[in-house]
């Protein structure tokens, strides 16, 4: 297969920045080159040094003066909620009942699910996102559409059919047995095939009976290499309802703990109102909290304690949470994340840590840092190209920019899809013109 060389300013992280002054956690090449072959990065360095190594038929794509970074990783979003974004006026449980469940019921129709999957991935790629961790609806058709469309684009994705057998309309639900059977079939069809990985997906304790959570735990024991994704401590009324449904559990996390659903591959969306015991168990089991700032603001759910959890050793992830989240953009997610954390005891999200978080940080949370989240030789060639002068306002601001960190913060606060010049998936350009 022919080689491709991407030329531009290369920025990638190899460790988590420990302070705003920590320049040791990233590598930056002013005039860099990424040499790509068969979907992998086979060389990285100064363009002048690599130019002599290029094959005679190598296609050179010059993106100067843009930044080349690892593709963004979104660790929590809901594929069937693409037509639920910007639905007005409710908190979590009412929002699910009034908007989400009716929308998800439509995903029993394979044609509808397939059409929505095309739009879903088009939008994410336009925003520079190359890896997604997504919930489907309760219908097998939704997960099939998600994985099939991702496979057509050769994307690294994780996902699963939502398991939900109570406290939801029948047309949006499964049963404990069908949830188990469909998940088992989907794992056989998709897990480890191409760049797809499966996540066992009980939505949350409120919508899963004890029988279904027992089935989810059985799936986790039978398929220990699969991920698990669910929700935790997002909303105070949610927590009260969970306690009423599971009165013997010590707390919300204790429900999942009882059914064997915690571990290093478990992703827990939100984690806003955690009790000390829950935090301890989460750290002990290696389960990962996922910060969803735009959703938390939109639904009025609460503030994420990033520094508190990080100080305890939690490997936090960050995500858009479409469609409670209000933007597909991980850049805008960082923008809102900065503001949320500032409200939480004055925490400050420095741009180095922000860009680490949505690339290598999220890859580490997923245990996939050997494949994605870096631009290391041998890694999968998922690359985003960023223009810091994409809008007149950004260009004006950039006139006074003096450092790389300052440029990143301008992108973090002001950028959107207009700053994403191109998105490469396994070395192939995938962003469509508007």
pLDDT score at 407: 98
Cis peptide before 323 (omega within 30 of 0): yes
- For 239-288, the pLDDT digits (tens) are 999 999 999 999 999 999 999 999 999 999 999 999 999 999 999 999 99
Which whole number is the average pLDDT over 298-303?
A: 94
- For 91-132, the pLDDT digits (tens) are 778 878 888 999 999 999 999 999 999 999 999 999 999 999
Percentage of the chain modeled with pLDDT above 90: 93
Question: Residue 311 corresponds to which tokens in the numbers above?
Answer: 């100080």
| pLDDT band for position 1 (cuts 50, 70, 90) | low
- For 158-215, the pLDDT digits (tens) are 999 999 999 999 999 999 999 999 999 999 999 999 999 999 999 999 999 999 999 9
| pLDDT band for position 14 (cuts 50, 70, 90) | very high
pLDDT score at 91: 79
| Residues 120/157, Cβ–Cβ less than 8 Å | no
Which whole number is the average pLDDT over 375-387?
A: 98
Percentage of the chain modeled with pLDDT above 70: 100
Alpha-carbon Rg for the chain in angstroms: 21
**Average pLDDT across the chain, whole number:** 96
Whether the per-residue pLDDT at 90 is higher than 90: the answer is no
pLDDT score at 432: 86
Which whole number is the average pLDDT over 64-79?
A: 98
| Residues 365/38, Cβ–Cβ less than 8 Å | no
- Residue 128 neighbours by CB under 8 Å, 6+ apart: 71, 72, 329, 330, 331, 384, 386, 417, 420, 423
Which whole number is the average pLDDT over 353-363?
A: 98
Question: Residue 168 corresponds to which tokens in the numbers above?
Answer: 């939801």
Phi, psi of 61 (to 5 degrees): -110, 110
- Please state, in angstroms and rounded to a whole number, the distance separating the CA atoms of residues 178 and 85: 29
Whether the per-residue pLDDT at 135 is higher than 80: the answer is yes
pLDDT score at 265: 98
| Residues 273/308, Cβ–Cβ less than 8 Å | no
If one compares 54 and 71, the residue with the highest pLDDT of the two is 71
Strand 317-318 relative to strand 129-135: parallel, antiparallel, unpaired? Answer: unpaired
If one compares 238 and 90, the residue with the highest pLDDT of the two is 238
Burial class (CB in 10 A: 0-12, 13-18, 19+), 355: buried
pLDDT score at 55: 82
- Please state, in angstroms and rounded to a whole number, the distance separating the CA atoms of residues 200 and 389: 41
């Amino acid at each position: 297969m022919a080689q491709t060389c991407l030329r531009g300013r290369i920025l990638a992280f190899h460790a988590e920045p420990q302070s705003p002054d920590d320049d040791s956690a990233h590598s930056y090449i002013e005039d860099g080159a990424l040499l790509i072959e068969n979907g992998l990065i086979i060389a990285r360095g100064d363009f002048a040094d690599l130019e002599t190594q290029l094959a005679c038929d190598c296609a050179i794509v010059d993106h100067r003066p843009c930044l080349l970074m690892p593709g963004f990783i979104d660790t929590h979003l809901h594929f069937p909620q693409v037509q639920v974004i910007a639905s007005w006026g409710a908190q979590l449980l009412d929002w699910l009942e009034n908007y989400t469940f009716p929308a998800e019921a439509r995903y029993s129709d394979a044609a509808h699910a397939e059409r929505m999957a095309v739009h879903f991935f088009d939008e994410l790629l336009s925003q520079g996102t190359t890896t997604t961790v997504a919930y489907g609806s309760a219908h097998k058709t939704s997960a099939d559409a998600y994985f099939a469309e991702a496979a057509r684009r050769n994307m690294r994705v994780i996902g699963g059919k939502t398991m939900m057998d109570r406290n939801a309309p029948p047309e949006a639900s499964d049963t404990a047995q069908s949830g188990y059977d469909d998940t088992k079939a989907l794992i056989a069809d998709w897990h480890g095939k191409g760049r797809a990985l499966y996540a066992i997906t009980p939505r949350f304790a409120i919508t899963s009976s004890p029988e279904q959570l027992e089935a989810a735990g059985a799936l986790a024991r039978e398929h220990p290499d699969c991920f698990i994704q669910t929700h935790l401590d997002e909303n105070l009324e949610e927590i009260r309802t969970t306690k009423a449904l599971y009165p013997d559990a010590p707390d919300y996390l204790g429900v999942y703990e009882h059914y064997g659903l915690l571990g290093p591959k478990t992703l827990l969306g939100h984690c806003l109102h955690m009790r000390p015991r829950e935090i301890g168990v989460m750290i002990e089991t290696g389960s990962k909290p996922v910060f969803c700032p735009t959703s938390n603001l939109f639904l009025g759910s609460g503030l994420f304690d990033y520094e508190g959890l990080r100080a305890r050793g939690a490997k936090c992830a960050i995500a858009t949470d479409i469609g409670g989240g209000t933007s597909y953009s991980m850049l805008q997610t960082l923008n809102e994340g900065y503001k949320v954390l500032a409200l939480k005891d004055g925490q400050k999200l420095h741009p180095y840590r922000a860009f680490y978080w949505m690339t290598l940080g999220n890859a580490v949370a997923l245990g996939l840092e050997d494949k994605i989240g870096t631009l290391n030789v041998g890694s999968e060639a998922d690359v985003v190209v960023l223009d810091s002068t994409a809008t007149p306002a950004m260009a004006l601001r950039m006139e006074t920019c003096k450092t790389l960190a300052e440029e990143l913060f301008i992108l973090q606060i002001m950028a959107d899809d207009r700053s994403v010049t191109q998105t490469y998936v396994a070395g192939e350009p995938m962003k469509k013109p508007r």
